[in-house]
């Protein structure tokens, strides 16, 4: 379905043309003076030079044409697009859309399964690399943004009609693995994993629980910083693991199993889902051939024992270091696994595009990986590699978010603190069954966290402000949910009053009866263009600001209109149809952001 601005521009353009001017001057936008008009065309001013004519004269002619069009439509019993077209000095054309036209436009939207949004004409296969948790390390808030933004981008791309594959790309191949293996070895040297002569089957049971594992890593990491010999041991263990030493691989498999079960639970609580649970280590089988190929084709050369590819470009304004493919000891680096992962993805999924949702401090790493992949022709020229870098989540002190005691905030703890806060608020608000309130608190808590994050442009740092994010008022997730719940409650009451319809709601949207209703309708017409922008720019924050404006418009209309007490049943049915559409639009919006609304709150 066409966007309303396109329809309006088309109408104004044909008036320009009918007056002998170029049609392109008819481009019309939303008015920045909503007190004067709804839409505004500044084409007459732009046409001044070409036609050597005062803009107001041009505007007057066009407006006369528009008025004639409106009249002709009325004569034919059709609905005119405009209710008012006015030329204003020095040459603005101010426009107001007619109520009947709006009602028809929204009626078409309501009967469309995609709410007037047009899916991609050429669907692509898009892989999204997000989440990026490291096994054996607790999920902390640093990984929260990747999960939240990635999940939303995944849903948005899917909504736009693309085939989307989300991959968690776990970190399981670097030094952290060697550190854990080393620490386990120090604690339990008798385990068969460390016995080079052991040929039997390794135990099924892991030698640690998730909470032990989460303690082992930080301990090992701290030790390695103070103890050179320990660090060396860990580096050796990493190399041996990557080399395929049997016992280390078996132990590593235990680390994976224990961690992944825990990660699935945590991501599940966030309503974040991955199609693939691939890992850095899945790239290992490609590494040797990749290095060989890069050498043979003359892309890579040896420098002080390491294998590197130059990726500098003339236009660089800052130094872009060469890409290291293998370290002098032959070990793989972060760039190595990312390049080899691209080979795996191309081979198995043939994506048109890969989007990486990662902390923006890793931008240089991705510049190196992307350039190297292109230069060495790991990807086709038309395949897109996109880095969606996000900023840091800070505390109120402007420093990276910490617990009150100053430690690293674990995701589980953050979520439960928010849920407790929401539970308190819900119980304060009204009497509720404690079990139901707990469930509701979970949904509302998630909206607080996700909306708080997504309403900011991803690349910017933002302050995680619990009091603000959990508030039922203002630009917050709970406020949006509150609005949806309000609509649901009206619709339910209406259903209860009109049982003869068997639960079906009326569908016919009427011309607005008052100003706040028209404002709500105008907001709704923006849906398809906002969605298009959000998809093109991978910008969930655009959806946030749209649903916030829409919620405000809905609440204003609600406060100014007695809907359930309305005696004119046709009028009432029209309002119910409008509320139902608003609810669908808001629910689509929050679904794309990755959360849902409760029945009550």
Of positions 258, 358, 411, 480, contacts ligand ARG by CB under 6 A: 358
Q: How far is the CB of 269 from ligand ARG (least distance, A)?
A: 19
Q: Which is nearer to ligand ARG, 191 or 346 (CB)?
A: 346
Q: Which is nearer to ligand ARG, 135 or 509 (CB)?
A: 135
Q: Which is nearer to ligand ARG, 176 or 470 (CB)?
A: 176
- What is the rounded distance in angstroms from the CA atom of residue 465 to the CA atom of residue 406? 16
Q: Are the beta carbons of 564 and 486 closer than 8 angstroms?
A: no
Q: How far is the CB of 132 from ligand ARG (least distance, A)?
A: 3
Size of the site for ligand ARG (CB under 6 A): 8
Helices (H), 463-568: 466-469, 477-497, 515-525, 527-537, 540-560
The two tokens of residue 276 are: 């693939």
Beta sheet of 323-326, edge-to-edge order: 300-303, 306-309, 323-326
The two tokens of residue 59 are: 């505007």
Of positions 92, 356, 387, 462, contacts ligand ARG by CB under 6 A: 356
Residues sharing a CB contact under 8 Å with residue 222, sequence separation 6 or more, in sequence order: none
Q: How far is the CB of 131 from ligand ARG (least distance, A)?
A: 8
Q: How far is the CB of 340 from ligand ARG (least distance, A)?
A: 11
Query: 266-271, long-range: CB within 8 Å, 24+ apart, which pairs?
Result: 266/139, 266/411, 266/412, 267/131, 267/147, 267/168, 269/412, 269/415, 270/144, 270/147, 270/148, 270/151, 270/411, 270/415, 270/446, 270/594, 271/151, 271/446, 271/594, 271/595, 271/596
3-state SS class at 90: coil
Q: ∠ CA 86-91-92 to the nearest 5 degrees?
A: 55
Q: Which is nearer to ligand ARG, 102 or 136 (CB)?
A: 136
- What is the rounded distance in angstroms from the CA atom of residue 334 to the CA atom of residue 277? 18
Q: Which is nearer to ligand ARG, 44 or 135 (CB)?
A: 135
Q: Which is nearer to ligand ARG, 139 or 509 (CB)?
A: 139
Bond prior to 283 in cis (omega within 30° of 0): no
Q: Running DSSP on this structure, what letter comes out for residue 404? A: T
Report which of 143, 141, 236 is spatially closest to residue 194, judged by C-alpha positions.
236
Q: Which is nearer to ligand ARG, 129 or 151 (CB)?
A: 129
- What is the rounded distance in angstroms from the CA atom of residue 540 to the CA atom of residue 537? 9
Q: Which is nearer to ligand ARG, 169 or 185 (CB)?
A: 169
Q: Which is nearer to ligand ARG, 171 or 247 (CB)?
A: 171
Q: How far is the CB of 539 from ligand ARG (least distance, A)?
A: 20
- Does 169 bind ligand ARG (CB under 6 A)? Our answer is yes
**What does 345-373 look like in DSSP terms, one character per residue?**
HHHHH--SEEEEEEEGGGHHHHHHHHHHH
Q: How far is the CB of 264 from ligand ARG (least distance, A)?
A: 17
Q: Which is nearer to ligand ARG, 130 or 482 (CB)?
A: 130
* x/- map, 304-343, ligand ARG, by CB under 6 A: ----------------------------------x-----
Report which of 542, 554, 392, 540 is spatially closest to residue 482, judged by C-alpha positions.
554
Q: Which is nearer to ligand ARG, 25 or 217 (CB)?
A: 217
Residues sharing a CB contact under 8 Å with residue 278, sequence separation 6 or more, in sequence order: 167, 168, 169, 170, 341, 344
- What is the rounded distance in angstroms from the CA atom of residue 238 to the CA atom of residue 332? 10
Letter string b/e over residues 453-488, b meaning 16 or more CB atoms within 10 A of that residue's CB: bbbbebeeebbbebeebbbbeebbbbbbbbbbbbbb
- Does 472 bind ligand ARG (CB under 6 A)? Our answer is no
Q: How far is the CB of 222 from ligand ARG (least distance, A)?
A: 19
Q: For residue 251, count other CB atoms closer than 10 A to its CB.
A: 26
Q: For 263-329, what is the HEC assignment? A: HHHHHHHCCCCCCECCEHHHHHHHHHHHHHHHHHCCCEEEECCEEEECCCCCCCCCCCCCEEEECCC
Q: How far is the CB of 358 from ligand ARG (least distance, A)?
A: 4
Q: Which is nearer to ligand ARG, 129 or 523 (CB)?
A: 129
Q: Which is nearer to ligand ARG, 358 or 586 (CB)?
A: 358
Footprint on residues 122-161 left by ligand ARG (CB under 6 A)? 129, 132, 134
**Contact footprint for ligand ARG (CB under 6 A):** 129, 132, 134, 169, 171, 338, 356, 358
């Amino acid at each position: 379905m066409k966007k309303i601005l396109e329809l309006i521009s088309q109408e104004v353009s044909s008036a320009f043309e009918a007056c002998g001017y170029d049609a392109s001057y008819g481009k019309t936008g939303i008015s920045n003076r909503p007190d004067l008009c709804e839409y505004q065309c500044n084409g007459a001013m732009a046409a001044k030079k070409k036609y050597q004519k005062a803009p107001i004269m041009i505007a007057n002619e066009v407006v006369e044409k528009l008025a004639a069009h409106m009249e002709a439509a009325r004569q034919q019993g059709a609905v005119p697009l405009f209710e008012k077209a006015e030329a204003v000095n020095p040459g603005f054309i101010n426009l107001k859309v007619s109520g009947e036209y709006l009602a028809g436009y929204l009626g078409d939207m309501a009967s469309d399964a995609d709410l007037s949004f047009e899916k991609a004409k050429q669907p692509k296969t898009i892989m999204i690399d997000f989440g990026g948790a490291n096994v054996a390390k607790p999920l902390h808030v640093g990984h929260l943004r990747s999960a939240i933004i990635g999940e939303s981008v995944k849903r948005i791309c899917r909504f736009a009609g693309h085939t989307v594959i989300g991959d968690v790309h776990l970190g399981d191949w670097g030094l952290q693995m060697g550190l854990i293996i080393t620490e386990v070895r120090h604690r339990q040297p008798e385990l068969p994993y460390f016995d080079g002569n052991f040929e039997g089957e390794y135990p099924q049971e892991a030698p640690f629980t998730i909470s032990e594992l989460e303690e082992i890593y930080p301990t090992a990491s701290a030790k390695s910083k103070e103890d050179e010999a320990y660090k060396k041991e860990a580096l050796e263990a990493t190399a041996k693991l990557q080399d395929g030493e049997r016992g280390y691989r078996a132990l590593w498999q235990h680390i994976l199993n224990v961690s992944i079960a825990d990660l699935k639970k945590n991501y599940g609580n966030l309503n974040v889902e991955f199609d693939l649970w691939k890992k850095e280590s899945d790239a290992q089988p490609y590494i040797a051939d990749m290095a060989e190929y890069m050498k043979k084709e003359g892309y890579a050369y040896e420098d002080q024992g390491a294998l590197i590819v130059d990726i500098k470009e003339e236009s660089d304004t800052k130094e872009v270091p060469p890409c290291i493919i293998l370290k002098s000891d032959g070990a793989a680096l972060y760039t190595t696994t990312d390049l080899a992962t691209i080979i795996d993805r191309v081979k198995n999924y043939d994506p048109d595009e890969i989007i990486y949702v990662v902390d923006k401090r890793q931008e240089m790493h991705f510049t190196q990986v992307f350039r190297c992949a292109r230069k060495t022709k790991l990807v086709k020229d038309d395949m897109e590699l996109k880095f969606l870098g996000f900023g840091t989540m800070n505390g109120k002190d402007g420093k990276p978010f910490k617990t009150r005691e100053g430690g690293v905030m674990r995701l589980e703890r953050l979520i439960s603190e928010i849920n407790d806060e929401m539970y308190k608020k819900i119980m304060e608000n009204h009497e509720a069954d404690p079990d139901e309130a707990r469930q509701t608190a979970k949904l509302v808590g998630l909206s607080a966290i996700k909306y708080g994050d997504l309403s900011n442009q991803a690349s910017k740092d933002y302050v995680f402000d619990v009091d603000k994010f959990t508030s039922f008022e203002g630009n917050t997730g709970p406020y949006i949910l509150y609005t949806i719940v309000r609509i649901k409650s009206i619709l339910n009451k209406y259903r209860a009053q009109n049982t003869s319809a068997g639960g079906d709601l009326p569908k016919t949207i009427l011309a607005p009866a008052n100003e706040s209703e028209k404002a709500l309708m105008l907001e709704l017409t923006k849906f398809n263009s906002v969605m298009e922008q959000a998809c093109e720019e991978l910008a969930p924050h655009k959806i946030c600001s749209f649903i916030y404006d829409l919620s405000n418009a809905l609440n204003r209309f609600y406060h100014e209109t007695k809907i359930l007490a309305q005696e004119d049943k046709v009028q009432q049915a029209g309002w119910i149809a409008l509320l139902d559409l608003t609810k669908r639009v808001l629910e689509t919006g929050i679904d794309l952001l990755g959360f849902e609304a409760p029945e009550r709150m």
